[in-house]
């Protein structure tokens, strides 16, 4: 399987500018205005007028960049737009219709059809479903129509109003506009202060060392089925994963972090702390690299080796500790390719800790929706592939004293498999461990956080916690005494049955 090329790493970053809602809004507003007035480009006064009037939109752009208006809060975005219509009443309906057309062209055709067809082989007819998904979608991407529409309709209207005023030399209602902006700011602040109350609790203290309890592992293999929504996993027919779940310890309330974006979640799992501390706050990484130590640094300190095999975006956070695979690949074969790649890496590097990200489930959720059968099929495929992979690891002797950890980084909500704001289906993820160090047949019902991954892996492998780790070691899963295998074959076959 091909590695992500430098071109892909950069292309993925550029795509994030359009894919993440925050940078998208200003880019889309400017792009729409320029395309709408394409015939005026030759006229220098157009650039002057549009440039000066654009300055009036900057406070609004900043305000809408700062405030997320997550989930139900997005409904309140129509109030500033309606307020604008009442106060100023100045709209160019043709411009707004053009913007709406362009928005749906971008999301439904460019992204939902053209982009997915080229990148992962989705059908050319994907728009017939994708438009429904975009309308419902609630995540922090540009595909959140109900958030983006009231934002860009207002900003474009304001820009157009000032363009007309500057062009005709009529008085700018400076005071009214200033009060209008202050009103939106106060409105946004109050909404986020009092209604935005579903973020996960944050642990204030650092990871505490656990007395030497449990049995150390020689190795930890972690398989992250990206975006696997918990109740959809339970609905799927996954005999192998079910067996692992039942023979090991399952965490029934394992909570992801906020915002539940892939690069954010992986950074939290690998550092043991929150986005605020490791610095990765969305998939759009402005400043490359996490700001704190990761489990990979901990392993190095102890002379051990760990790797993360994942998509190109993860390089933005964890740099050289990532073996990236190309995400430009048919979605029906990508996970198989990843695990083949993982075998090669394992044979070459004999890793102490190996974190492998499977992406096909997540990609199907994004391109076809999570509430359709295709999504379940992908989870079932992952089950077969993981079984085959673990069986290979056992044959090669890599599982002898190994802890196997299977989880998702976040769930996915209705719509375009959205995740970020912790809508229904995103918050709690499947999470279970098994192996000689792990309690058998145990279900832990207490609430835990994915920030526990790094300290737990560190504890199992006997290496220091990453320096800013806050997660607690998942002690409920740790077995106190070793059960000696009855015979040779059992010692090699604790995970697979054949
Ligand atoms: Zn993800």
Ligand 1 mean position to 408 CA, how many Å?
8
Q: Are 406 and 249 in contact (CB under 8 A)?
A: no
| Spatial CB neighbours of 107, under 8 Å, sequence gap ≥ 6 | 130, 134, 142, 143, 145
Ligand 1 mean position to 356 CA, how many Å?
12
Question: 3-state SS string over 123-148?
Answer: CCCCHHHHHHHHHHCCCCECCCHHHH
The residue among 223, 261, 269 whose CA lies nearest residue 426 is 261
Number of Cα atoms under 13 Å in the Cβ half of residue 487: 1
Under-70 pLDDT residues of the chain: 1, 482-494, 497-498
Question: What pLDDT score does 486 carry?
Answer: 52
Tell me how crowded residue 299 is: count the other CB atoms within 10 A of its CB: 24
Token pair listed for 120? 């992962």
pLDDT in tens, 46-63: 999 999 999 999 999 999
Helix, strand, coil percentages for the chain (3-state, nearest 5): 55, 10, 35
- Residue 254: strand, helix, or coil: strand
Question: 3-state SS string over 453-491?
Answer: HHHHHHHHHCCCCCCCCCCCCCHHHECCCCCCCCCHHHH
Ligand 1 mean position to 267 CA, how many Å?
11
Question: What pLDDT score does 172 carry?
Answer: 81
- How many helices (H) and strands (E) the chain has is answered by 21, 9
What does 74-95 look like in DSSP terms, one character per residue? Answer: GGGGHHHHHHHHHHT----HHH
Token pair listed for 112? 């939902």
Ligand 1 mean position to 311 CA, how many Å?
10
Domains and CATH numbers, the chain: 6-194 (no CATH), 219-496 (3.40.720.10)
Residues present in the chain in total: 498
Question: What pLDDT score does 287 carry?
Answer: 85
Question: What pLDDT score does 260 carry?
Answer: 96
Ligand 1 mean position to 73 CA, how many Å?
23
Ligand 1 mean position to 147 CA, how many Å?
21
The residue among 183, 189, 192, 196 whose CA lies nearest residue 80 is 183
Token pair listed for 443? 């279900």
pLDDT in tens, 221-261: 999 999 999 999 999 999 999 999 999 999 999 999 999 99
Question: What pLDDT score does 18 carry?
Answer: 93
Ligand 1 mean position to 140 CA, how many Å?
13
Ligand 1 mean position to 105 CA, how many Å?
25
Ligand 1 mean position to 206 CA, how many Å?
26
Ligand 1 mean position to 283 CA, how many Å?
10
Ligand 1 mean position to 264 CA, how many Å?
9
Ligand 1 mean position to 43 CA, how many Å?
46
Ligand 1 mean position to 420 CA, how many Å?
10
Ligand 1 mean position to 66 CA, how many Å?
23
The residue among 477, 443, 497, 431 whose CA lies nearest residue 225 is 431
Ligand 1 mean position to 309 CA, how many Å?
13
Q: Which residues pair with 309 in a beta bridge?
A: 323, 356
Ligand 1 mean position to 409 CA, how many Å?
5
- Tell me which H or E stretch contains 196: none
Ligand 1 mean position to 363 CA, how many Å?
9
Ligand 1 mean position to 423 CA, how many Å?
14
The residue among 244, 268, 245 whose CA lies nearest residue 257 is 268
| Spatial CB neighbours of 425, under 8 Å, sequence gap ≥ 6 | 229, 230, 231, 232, 370, 411, 412, 413, 414
| Spatial CB neighbours of 338, under 8 Å, sequence gap ≥ 6 | 1, 309, 325, 356, 357, 358, 359
Ligand 1 mean position to 299 CA, how many Å?
24
Ligand 1 mean position to 167 CA, how many Å?
47
Ligand 1 mean position to 410 CA, how many Å?
6
The residue among 485, 459, 461, 463 whose CA lies nearest residue 472 is 459
């Amino acid at each position: 399987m091909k590695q992500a090329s430098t071109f892909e790493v950069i292309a993925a970053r550029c795509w994030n500018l359009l894919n993440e809602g925050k940078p998208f809004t200003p880019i889309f507003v400017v792009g729409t205005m320029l395309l709408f007035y394409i015939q005026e480009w030759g006229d220098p006064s157009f650039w002057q007028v549009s440039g000066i009037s654009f300055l009036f939109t900057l406070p609004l752009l900043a305000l809408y960049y700062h405030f997320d208006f997550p989930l139900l809060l997005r409904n309140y975005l129509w109030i500033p737009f309606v307020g604008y219509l009442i106060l100023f009443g100045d709209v160019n309906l043709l411009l707004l219709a053009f913007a709406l057309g362009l928005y749906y062209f971008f999301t439904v055709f460019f992204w939902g059809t053209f982009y997915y067809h080229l990148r992962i082989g989705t059908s050319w007819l994907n728009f017939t479903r994708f438009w429904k998904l975009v309308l419902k979608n609630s995540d922090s991407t540009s595909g959140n129509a109900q958030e983006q529409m009231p934002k860009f309709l207002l900003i474009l209207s304001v820009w157009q109003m000032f363009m007309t005023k500057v062009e005709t030399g009529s008085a700018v209602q400076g005071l009214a506009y200033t009060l209008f902006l202050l009103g939106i700011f106060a409105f946004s602040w109050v909404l986020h202060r009092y209604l935005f109350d579903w973020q996960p609790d944050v642990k204030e203290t650092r990871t505490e060392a656990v007395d030497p309890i449990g049995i150390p592992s020689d190795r930890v293999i972690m398989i992250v089925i990206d975006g696997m929504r918990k109740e959809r996993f339970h609905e799927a027919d996954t005999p192998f994963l079910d067996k692992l779940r039942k023979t090991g310890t399952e965490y029934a309330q394992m909570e992801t972090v906020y915002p539940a974006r892939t690069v954010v979640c992986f950074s939290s799992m690998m550092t043991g702390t929150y986005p605020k501390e490791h610095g990765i706050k969305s998939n759009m990484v402005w400043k490359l690299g996490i700001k704190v130590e990761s489990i990979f640094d901990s392993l190095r300190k102890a002379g051990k080796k760990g790797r993360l095999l994942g998509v190109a975006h993860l390089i933005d956070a964890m740099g050289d500790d990532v073996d990236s695979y190309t995400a430009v690949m048919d979605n029906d074969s990508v996970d198989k390719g990843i695990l083949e790649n993982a075998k090669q890496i394992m044979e070459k590097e004999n890793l102490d800790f190996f974190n492998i990200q499977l992406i096909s489930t997540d990609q199907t959720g994004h391109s076809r929706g999570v509430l359709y059968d295709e999504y379940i099929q992908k989870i079932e495929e992952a089950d077969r592939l993981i079984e085959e992979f673990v069986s290979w690891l056992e044959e090669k002797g890599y599982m002898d004293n190994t802890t196997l950890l299977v989880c998702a980084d976040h769930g996915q909500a209705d719509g375009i498999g959205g995740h970020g704001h912790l809508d229904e289906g995103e918050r709690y993820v499947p999470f279970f461990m098994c192996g000689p160090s792990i309690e058998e047949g145990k279900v832990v019902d207490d609430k835990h956080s994915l920030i526990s991954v790094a300290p737990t892996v560190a504890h199992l492998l006997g290496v220091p916690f990453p320096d800013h780790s806050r997660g607690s070691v998942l002690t409920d899963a740790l077995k106190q005494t070793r059960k000696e295998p009855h015979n040779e074959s059992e010692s090699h076959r604790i995970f697979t049955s054949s």
